Amino acid sequence: MRPRNTLRNRLLALALLASTAAVGLTVKPTWAEPLPPAATFMLAEDAAAFTGALDVTITVRADNTASKVETRRMKVIGVSAVQGAGQQNLSYIEGLQTLEIIEAYTEKADGTKIPVDPNTILKRDAATGLGAVYLRDLKVVTLIFPDVSPGDSIVYTTRLEHKGGIFAGHFFDQYLFQRGFPFADSTVRVIAPKDSGLKVAVLGDGLEHVTTSDETETRHVITYRGRPTIVAEPGMTSPMDRDPRIFISTFKNYEDQGQAYWQMAAPLGQVTPEIAKLADDITLGIEDRRAQAAAIAHWVKLNIRYVAVYLGSARVVPNSAASVLKNRYGDCKDHVTLMAAMLAAKGIESEHVLISAGSAYTLPEPATMAYLNHAMIYLPEFRLYDDPTSAFSSFGVLSPGTYDKPVLHVSAKGAYQARTPAMKAKDHVSTRRVRATIEADGTVSGETAQIMTGVFAAGGRSLAAQLQNDGFERSAEQRLRNVGTPGKGKFEIGSLTQLGDSYVIKGRFVLDQRLKVAPGTSQNIPNGLPIQVRPGDYLLGQRYENRTMPFACFAGRQIEDIELTFAEGLPLPLEYKPRKVETKSFIYTANYKLEDRTLKIRREFISRVPGQVCAPELEAEIAEPIQAVKGSLWSKMAFKAEPKKPEAVNVTPPAKDPAGPGNRAELTPAPQAAPRVN
């Protein structure tokens, strides 16, 4: 069931356009078994409920402060949009900006305007009610529009004054005309001094860009023509990689932006005596430098709590390493700053890495913070990236959404662009090992062990924490029920404080339903207590016919190793033929062997995609082979039928011989064909 406020949240979140200046590196990537949607798009029924239009004029002054006047108009078409359109939230950073509501009104279908009562305009802290997030001077203004009905429009005009930039002396902004949002014709104007060096880039289809200049200023007029909305495709990459978008920036390039970041971040990473002593204590007895770095990384992951922090002017620069250590919490850039200081105390160089933790895989110019919402660390000595906020990841293992992405490195040596490595199947392996027994009465019981490395191990630890929270027995019972094999069980998890290369979750189970093993029948193969997804799921995303957009895909290996032992007296399953399915992107094998009274099954799926963005054409290539894989996974075990008994032959006694009983004929039934065994 859809949440009641889904449409309202989308209206507020998109607010006709994602056009707020970036307020910091705050997105903490999370790991989950299924991939989250790459972006939230309007569903078709929502798109028919309203349209939105934007008219904005940005005036950049010589000192790179700026004024932005926006008029936003949302026409309500369907009744489902009334609730969301009738209340709009506007945010701004009080320390850097001022927000003025010039006018706001409901425009009735006949043209009548009903103004918003100024007394109903609400202003509050943006972080109200949010746990573990502190945004000291991010404010929200709420406009509540009167008498909104289908056919009406809500209209409001604001003036946002940028008193100073997130980076001192610089201004940047961005607009995304997301194709899943029902935009009507819209206009963006940018006015700047002729010699300001301001860059304006217009990317994607559907935008017209006209530039004019006189002796003092340059004027850009960008027009968007309304186009039909498109429907989301599962796992698709970010619309920021392809939809119509505008980027505005005073930075020369990303290297220039990186230098600006480093100027503010560098002084905050000083090695204090406390930090030096801690680094020595953590690495006591460890001589290998890589092992020292790993020990420091693990300590940070396990001891510094993730909290998104905005304090004073700290927007996209970290808090000091000393304060992060004292507080034992911080956001991504704080984790990086502390870890870098501890590494420096051991003479190990590192670089801050700015990256998109979302589903964007490009980094177009000019430089803004639109694509850089997360910070990691790079150790040149080991050619290794690490994410100190990824609390369940081994050293050098990233979250799935940060592989094969453009990044910006910054350090005392300068700033440069690079790309994180693509995933390698050998580094990310999930093996489900099931050992089960079918008793003479059909009772199925056994043990499952999930052995995981790479991103699967990080996911396993995350799941283990959830199992611990929910209860090991209750969680086992719920998972068995979810896969259609109700029963009892109990999980056993590995340590959550040891971040080794592999991780193991074990589980014991007894199924409620007894398996009716009998000649001539076929039965499902018990799959144990599920922990992670089966081979073929997750890595190549969800199947979606006739894809038109690129989608995220991952490399890795998934193995299913099942041993099923039959009690004495039970029939044994017939032999299976091995199975192999192979495409350019994956290979799947299934092998079966019967030894004594144990059926042994090994299935393996290897995704060997070269990068983490797959072209839409790949969908057609793998759709049918993936179905073959699923068919193999859900194949049943069949049992030989018993031989049929010969049918009885009815012999008609001969007629009585009139010559007397001594002359009766003897009849011998004809031999019957041997019964066939199917």
My answer on whether 85 and 216 are in the same domain is: yes
Residue 510 belongs to some domain of the structure: yes
| Residues facing 236 on adjacent strands | 551
Nearest to 452 by CA among 465, 433, 476, 479: 433
Report d(CA 511, CA 87) in Å as an integer. Answer: 52
First to last CA, the chain: 48
Q: Out of 244, 271, 288, pick the residue that ends a domain.
A: 244
Q: Is residue 360 part of a domain?
A: yes
Q: What pairing do the DSSP bridges indicate for beta strands 186-193 and 217-224? A: antiparallel
pLDDT of 309: 60
Q: Would you give the DSSP letter of residue 495?
A: -
pTM of the model: 0.86
Instruction: Report which of residues 83 and 672 the model is more confident about.
Output: 83
Residue-wise pLDDT for 255-291, tens only, equals: 999 999 999 999 999 999 999 999 999 999 999 999 9
Burial degree of 399 (CB within 10 A; 0-12, 13-18, 19+): buried
Range in 9-23, 222-236, 599-613, 654-668 the model is least confident about: 9-23
Pair 292, 211 in one domain: no
CATH number at residue 574: 2.60.120.1130
Pair 129, 278 in one domain: no
Q: What is the CATH number of the domain that holds 18?
A: 2.60.40.3140
Distance CA 56, CA 248 (A): 13
452 in any annotated domain = yes
In what helix (H) or strand (E) does residue 402 lie, and over which residues does it extend?
none
Distance CA 147, CA 151 (A): 11
Choosing from 421, 436, 460, the residue where a domain stops is 421
pLDDT reported for residue 661? 41
**Cβ partners under 8 Å of residue 596, min gap 6:** none
**508 and 398 share a domain?**
no
Contact 26, 308 (CB under 8 A): yes
Residues 345 and 210 in one domain: no
Question: Which residues are within 8 A (CB) of 323 and not within 5 positions of it... i.e. 6 or more apart?
Answer: none
Write phi, then psi, for 90 (nearest 5 degrees): -120, 130
Q: Find the helix packing angle between 332-345 and 273-282, rounded to 10°.
A: 80
Same domain, 18 and 131: yes
pLDDT digits (tens, 9 = 90+) for 59-85: 999 999 999 999 999 999 999 899 989
CA distance 584 to 582: 7
Residue 244 reports pLDDT greater than 70: yes
**Which has the higher per-residue pLDDT, 95 or 127?**
95
pLDDT of residue 132 exceeding 70: no
What's the average model confidence in pLDDT over 384-388? 98
Give the list of residues 6+ apart from residue 459 with CB closer than 8 angstroms, or none. Answer: 31, 32, 33, 392, 452, 532
Domain region containing 351 = 258-421
Edge-first strand order for the sheet with 374-379 is 384-386, 374-379, 351-355, 406-411, 414-419
Same domain assignment for residues 122 and 202: yes
**Can the peptide bond before residue 366 be classed as cis, meaning omega within 30 degrees of 0?**
yes
Q: How confident is the model at residue 9 (pLDDT cuts 50, 70, 90)?
A: very low
Pair (86, 225) in one structural domain:
yes
- Establish if 650 belongs to a structural domain: no
State the total domains in the chain. 3
HSE-up (13 A, CA, CB side) for residue 607: 27
Residue 215 to residue 231: CA distance in whole angstroms: 46
The whole-chain average pLDDT of the chain stands at 87
Does residue 446 sit in the same domain as residue 464?
yes
For residue 63, being part of any structural domain is answered with: yes
**Is 457 strand, coil or helix?**
helix
Q: Which of 421, 441, 466 is the last residue of a domain?
A: 421
Mean pLDDT value across residues 634-648: 81
What mean pLDDT comes out for the span 206-215? Answer: 96
For residue 610, is it within any domain? yes
pLDDT per position as a tens digit, 559-582: 999 999 999 999 999 988 999 999
Give the pLDDT mean for 200-228.
Answer: 95
Give CA–CA dist 449/194, Å, rounded. Answer: 66
- Going by pLDDT thresholds of 50, 70 and 90, the confidence category of residue 407 is very high
Q: Are residues 580 and 452 in the same domain?
A: yes
pLDDT digits (tens, 9 = 90+) for 231-240: 999 999 999 9
* Alpha-carbon separation of residue 108 from 48, 88, 126, 146, 178 (angstroms): 19, 18, 31, 10, 27
Closest CA to 135 of 312, 371, 356, 323: 312
Question: Can you tell me the distance from the alpha carbon of 628 to that of 603, in angstroms, rounded to the nearest whole number?
Answer: 13
The pLDDT score that the predictor gives to residue 654 is 52
Residue given tokens 């119509």 in the structure block: 244
Please give the pLDDT value at position 620.
Answer: 95
Distance CA 469, CA 338 (A): 29
**Per-residue confidence (pLDDT) for residue 215, from 0 to 100:** 93
Is residue 675 in some structural domain?
A: no
Phi first, then psi: give them for residue 574, nearest 5 degrees: -70, 160
Cβ contacts of residue 588 below 8 Å, gap of 6+? 535, 536, 579, 580, 581, 582, 603, 604, 605, 606, 625, 628, 629, 632
Residues 322 and 382 in one domain: yes
Q: What is the CATH number of the domain that holds 381?
A: 3.10.620.30
Residues 471 and 411 in one domain: no
Q: Which one, of 170, 145, 187, 200, lies nearest residue 8 by Cα?
A: 145
State residue 466's pLDDT score. Answer: 97
Least confident of 7-16, 376-385, 475-484, 583-592: 7-16
Per the CB < 8 A criterion, the answer to whether 411 and 343 are in contact is no
In a domain, 144, yes or no: yes
Give the model confidence (pLDDT) of 12-40 as tens digits. 333 334 343 333 333 333 322 222 222 23
Angle formed by the axes of helices 289-303 and 273-282, nearest 10°: 110
